[in-house]
Structure 1
Amino acid sequence: SCRTCGNCEEHLEQFCEKGATFTYNAPDKHSGGMTYGGYSESIVVDEAFVLQVPGNLDLAGTAPLLCAGITTYSPLRHHGVTKGQKVGIVGLGGLGHMGVKLAKALGAHVVVFTTSLSKVEDALRLGADEVVQSKDEDAMKKHLNSFHFILDTVGAKHDINAYLVLLRRDGNLTQVGVASEPLEVDVTNLIFGRRSFSGSLIGGLKETQEMLDFCGQHNITSDIELIPIQQVNEAYDRLVKGDVKYRFVIDMASLKQAQ
């Protein structure tokens, strides 16, 4: 980020007004060259963008915290989720499983919504207090007007209105999953209840460090599958099929063997 615009000065570098410099295959605004990603044995970065990982956290399990972790932590904090509140997590994938862990650590009563009954056991293991099969209309109706906050992690088109009506007065639903098609919102579901619907994008450096420290205090890491770089194509195919719990992490020690 530029570090000089209004958003950067407010520690919201992800919303830099001059645009982001992506970590791979993107023009580097400072060097004039291209970025080549972080899959290497070493990397040179500006110290302003270095974060400290708590010593008690497993490094491989910490890696996804810098994406899925901050993506879910930021809206939970922004909307003031605290002890005793009722929080819904829509979807139990890479983002959703982190949302469950973080919301639970914040003291919330966590309800997971999933279309798959096969994920019930895992949701409870991760810390959910309740699991609702979102296709079960009767089960959904039991939660009408009751949630302080709902975090929607689903990256496919779905009926967002089915969740908006579950919010209590002044409740918020934040969307972090990016669907390939626009979501249709019935504004009457917002107006009648003064509810709000918003989005969120990862987090700034200050908040990311806060998230890492929070995870260190609560011993939170991502559930991962560690793979050698030689299996990256196979991992991609499995990722497309949703066959991972819940994030792949590449073991960079295997890089030398690939050279």
Structure 2
Amino acid sequence: MIRHLLQRLLVALARLLVLGLATLALIEFSFVVIGDSEQHVWSRGAYGAVPQELAPDPFTWEGLIRVRAVATARVLILVIPSVLLIGYSWGILGARLRRYRLARLLAAPFAVFACVPGFWFAVLVAVYSYFHWQRPGFANDLVVERGPDLLAWWHASVVALPAMAGAAAWQIRAVAAVLERETTRSWVRGYFVAGANDEEIFYGRAIPRAASSLASLLDRPVAAIVGSLVVIESAFRYPGLGSLFVESVRLGSYPGILLAALCLAGMVLVATLLRELISSRE
């Protein structure tokens, strides 16, 4: 087990190194080759202090990344468990009632919500924030010194909703598709001939047989969720890693682009590592 864990850790580190090199190559191509910038990625002058536009208060890069990572972690804590809970429970229900095409019906509300124009959702959030918190949007003038920071969690939940919608719809259909394929295999007819009923075959045989395939879906929505945060956090001006990446691109800050990209990629790699460890125990 320890040997397998070390192997997977080395693979994850190798993937992160490749992503870092690819990010540096993309920065060099975008800003120097296309953008005619004089700062190369290997120049020391390109890696200075944190620009004031990224952090009004004096911050080191380590401190800025820590603050932004905590903000993004709040969103992921809300999104990932919700996607897995809804995706697996509704996906199993949709596969159980596949004759009624229930998987598509259950996934439809999330897919529709994911297609709602972000402008109107932002307007509704701003109106609700004004009447409930007496401040519109993501005003950062309130600092909570004691007790739970409910306003920060409210901000995170606003970002989490659109990120969760599309991922949940995909997860429902993916889980249902795995179980529907399992219940169409030849062994099902043998259990019917032996006198087993639908519930026994589905819950007692099909789900355990498809456990490894279902486990392989654990990390599938994480990459889409993390990628969507780049757009959603920037749109809502949420101070997370996704918005840091976009702001760094606008300012041409190489350290911000590289660190934000590596942190976001690291989150995906951690999810992949956990899924591989879970799958290896089955």
**Pairwise TM-score range, normalised by the shorter structure:** under 0.3
Bigger strand share: 1
Q: Which has the larger radius of gyration?
A: 2
Q: What TM-score do you get using the length of structure 1 for normalisation?
A: 0.23
Higher helix proportion (structure 1 or 2):
2
Q: What TM-score does the superposition give when structure 2 sets the normalisation length?
A: 0.21
- Which structure has more relative contact order (CA 8 Å, sep 6+)? It is 2
